[in-house]
Structure 1
Amino acid sequence: MKKTILVIDENLTRRKETVERLSFLKKDAVIREAETVEEALGITANEDICAVVIDEKFAADSAELFKKPGVKVYAAFKKSSISLIRAMGQKGIKVITYPVADLNIDTGLEGVSIDTKEEADAPGSLAEVVVFLSPKGGTGKTLLAVSFAVAARRNSSKKVCLVDLAWPSGGAADILRFWPPRSVMDLNAAPEYVSEKIIKNVAPEHPQTNINAAVVINDFHTKGPILTPQLSRKIISVIARHHDLLVVDTGAYSESVEAVLPFADRVFFVTDPLISSIVKTYRLFDFLRKLNRIPVENSAVIINFYNSRYGDIAEDVQSLFKTRVFLVPFDYSVIENLNEEKLPITVNPRSAFSKSILNLAAENNQPMHSRRLFNLFRK
């Protein structure tokens, strides 16, 4: 008796198209279709199922219902991402993209063709990628990203790499007082030759903090955009294979930032407490959310503030973004440390700023979807 391939999709036109595209497998299997999960479960009770292709609307909540010995489950999405591929992969579910095709029944349905850039550039390891993002400069992203990377390294045995894509500021290099012979900018000369060997030279270990750092070295004589989307994607892809955690300072939002987002497991939107800044940040957050460019359930807002009177705005911001909010107090000691060319989190770990960053790094090790509103200023 032939086995059955089950296609679940409430969209009739798309469902018929998927069935048609899989018709070449009819010599090996029966192609059945269902409009709802309930209808599909009824079919599985009576037939020998070998594969299930389930639409993205049902995949998150129902794909695991079809996981049985000998049954391959494929979640079909209009657009995939690295974080999505990882999340589904942990459940034993393969992500594929529309139009669905090339399920190889003869080899036990192991060979699935997914022609997406995100999949092609996926890191070889499951390195976690944390992105610090803002619609504008001057919100303190770079100091937060550097401090977060240092704190994450101190809190665990993870191999951490800070990736500075905020050209042309070169802020991370200045904060770390670290100017290696080669920088991220050098990769622009021949992006096709970006390799693991070259990346190791561009992201050496910072001796005082034991993090690796791929930084931008400030050069205002350089003309034009240095970091193209393709180069940014390649840098993240290669570095991720050799680290447990990547902390990415993207700089102000641009096309290069958009190229990095498919790799992001977590995105921190950084803002100052001014109403205009919060509104701009929300517009960017809402834009990326609607386009499905960010892992919304693992996104959060960081409010970097100087005056303690802003400490009570977290709940208002949370109600606007409907996501977690972290408050990071930026006191005068931080300015003093930076003026003395010292990293606040290393020389003054008991300051309110350092404690909040250390707590944020510790929180990052927990499943983010289960976190409560976390007011770091009051901890």
Structure 2
Amino acid sequence: MVKTLGGAGGLSTLGLNLPRRPHATLSRDDGYCATVLASFVVMVMLVMTIVALIFMAALIGVVGLSYETDEALNTDQAGDCVADVWGNQPSSYGDLDLPRDFYDIYRSAGQEYSIEWYYLAGIGWEETDHGQWAGDGSHGPTGLERDTTNDWGAAGPMQFGIDPDMPASDAWSTYGVDGNGDGRKDVWDPRDAIPSAANMITKYIDERGSIEAALYRYNQSNSYVQAVMDTAARYESGDFTITAPMGFLDCEVPDPNDSVADGVVDFVEDQVGEPYEADATGPDAFGPAGLVHAAYDDQGVEIPDDFDELHDFPNGARVPIGDIEPSDVLFTASCDTDNDEDSQADHALVYTGGDTLVHASEADDEVVETDMDDIEDCSVVKVLRMSHLGDS
């Protein structure tokens, strides 16, 4: 696959194409030379590009650190709480693998800004493999670590320029948005960066009349435009795999209420063997959400009994999978996707400690215990803590 890395707004004005990783190669776009004549710094970059030739093909920009399922770090929306990296470098890359939370953000941003989500995903892949590439070590920082940029002044998973004095310029101040509503515009947070890219691209479409012209405005390279369009077409067709989420969580994770947690665990363990019934809340049968609701209701904690409302319960606290505690609720979905809403979370399990989960299983037609090892990493959507809502 031929790839380039451009930059949201800034590197598009430069047109430099540098290598991202060994399996990505790209021919340079000779048309960019006119945009680099004004600056000595840019001329130096051009010389470096010519000397490197084959190696220098795709701009590193916002390339990210990769995610390894159990090792996901808490990349928070509050500045001081954001981990230095997003995850561990992988041993290999899956073809068009898409972390579940990136998938969700692409879809929601596309809906909000009236652009097909797969164009955003195509950009995210071409720029950074959705934050899954740690760089090849040849060209300095990647710009993914908080408060850093790459050598051209670009940062974040969609490669926005943030420094007007650098070749990447400063597109962020113009197009950056607070996508997750936390009161700040954070170029390093995909929940802000992806909606910001959607904001930018839709404005470029309005200016230039087509997605292809908008992509060229985003990164002035014909090969980049073609690569994004080809990748977007594959995402549109469903030719990809959803993998485990990177994990973008709130930085203040409340401690569990031990008394409530113990009561929830005891309750669900006592229901093992009770019949399964999709929407039942007990006492003689349970559905997945109904079992969770009944367990917390037994401890005086009021939570929804509807699955979707439980999944989106605003008073619940998201926690990293590595910090899961007894009574926390694990939401999962099938690892397979046909590229529609059915790929969202569809099951809930209560973690009871050790390697054990309890849940109302349709397949078993009863409430059962399940080993954590039986849960595929790619299926985990999120973990929700609610024991802290109980009285101390």
TM-score normalised according to structure 2 size: 0.24
Which of the two has greater helix per residue? 1
Q: Which has the higher strand share?
A: 1
Q: Which of structures 1 and 2 has the larger relative contact order (alpha carbons within 8 angstroms, sep 6+)?
A: 2
